[in-house]
């Protein structure tokens, strides 16, 4: 199973609910600014529970985007070392969005969220029937707002990542087909347009 990397901009967001990320393929990297010398005890204990799958990375040096560049470097390195992985940047900094769109054009599943709760895998009811999967995908697309995948390739990789790569190619094809049949997704010149329920 390909890992899901969660990269937390701790200068920008201090999450309190790491237990939402539990799972065998989740790897967490928490980026600390030069002047962030203290970690709350509860946070340290939550991170410790992930063992070797979580680490702190304290950047060296100051600058308005110093931490952002470190996160960008790690996404590139980890994407090269772990093809097929997905990436979630937890930050309120919209400066990541152009990079994330570019990664999507390269087939790399990456998105930015402002809370850890938004990085969790799609919650699928136990029956896992196709209508329930479809509803979950529609709900998640609606939450993406302006960050929705813009190409069919990126849409496919995003949906696959939401299901933590537990969706077969046929299952993915079925979901895309149903989105198209319902008029929720329209593909023109490989660009995706949405008509999501409000």
Find the CATH number of the domain harbouring 166. 1.10.10
Instruction: Based on the fold, state whether residues 76 and 113 are members of the same structural domain.
Output: yes
Instruction: Based on the fold, state whether residues 91 and 3 are members of the same structural domain.
Output: yes
Task: Give the number of domains in the chain.
Answer: 2
Task: Give residue 156's pLDDT.
Answer: 85
Instruction: Based on the fold, state whether residues 97 and 145 are members of the same structural domain.
Output: no
CB within 8 Å of 22: residues ≥ 6 apart: none
Instruction: Based on the fold, state whether residues 2 and 94 are members of the same structural domain.
Output: yes
CATH number, domain at 81? 3.40.50
Instruction: Based on the fold, state whether residues 99 and 13 are members of the same structural domain.
Output: yes
Please give the residue range of the domain that contains residue 39: 1-120
pTM: 0.62
Contact indicator for 42, 19 with CB cutoff of 8 Å: no
Regions of the chain where pLDDT drops below 70:
1, 16-17, 19-24, 117-129, 164-165, 198
Phi then psi for 5, rounded to 5 degrees? -95, 130
CA atoms in the 13 A half-sphere facing the CB of 79: 18
Q: How far apart are CA 74 and CA 66, in angstroms?
A: 13
Q: How far apart are CA 35 and CA 53, in angstroms?
A: 24
* Structure tokens that stand for 29 in this block: 């990297």
Instruction: Based on the fold, state whether residues 101 and 185 are members of the same structural domain.
Output: no
Instruction: Based on the fold, state whether residues 26 and 95 are members of the same structural domain.
Output: yes
């Amino acid at each position: 199973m390909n890992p899901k990397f969660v990269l937390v901009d701790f200068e920008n967001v201090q999450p309190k609910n790491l237990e939402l990320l539990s799972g065998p393929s989740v790897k967490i990297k928490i980026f600390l600014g030069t002047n962030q010398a203290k970690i709350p005890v509860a946070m340290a204990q939550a991170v410790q529970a992930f063992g070797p799958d979580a680490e702190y990375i304290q950047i060296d040096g100051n600058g308005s985007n110093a931490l952002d560049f470190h996160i960008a470097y790690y996404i590139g390195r980890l994407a090269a070392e772990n093809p097929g992985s997905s990436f979630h940047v937890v930050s309120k900094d919209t400066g990541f969005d152009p990079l994330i769109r570019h990664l999507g054009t390269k087939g790399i599943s990456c998105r930015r969220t402002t809370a850890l709760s938004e990085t969790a895998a799609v919650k699928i009811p136990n029956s896992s029937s196709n209508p329930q999967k479809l509803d979950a995908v529609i709900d998640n697309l609606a939450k993406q707002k302006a960050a929705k995948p813009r190409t069919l390739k990126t849409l496919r990789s995003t949906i696959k990542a939401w299901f933590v790569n537990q969706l077969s190619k046929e299952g993915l094809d079925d979901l895309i087909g149903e989105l198209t049949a319902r008029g929720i997704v329209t593909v023109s010149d490989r660009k995706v347009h949405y008509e999501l329920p409000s």
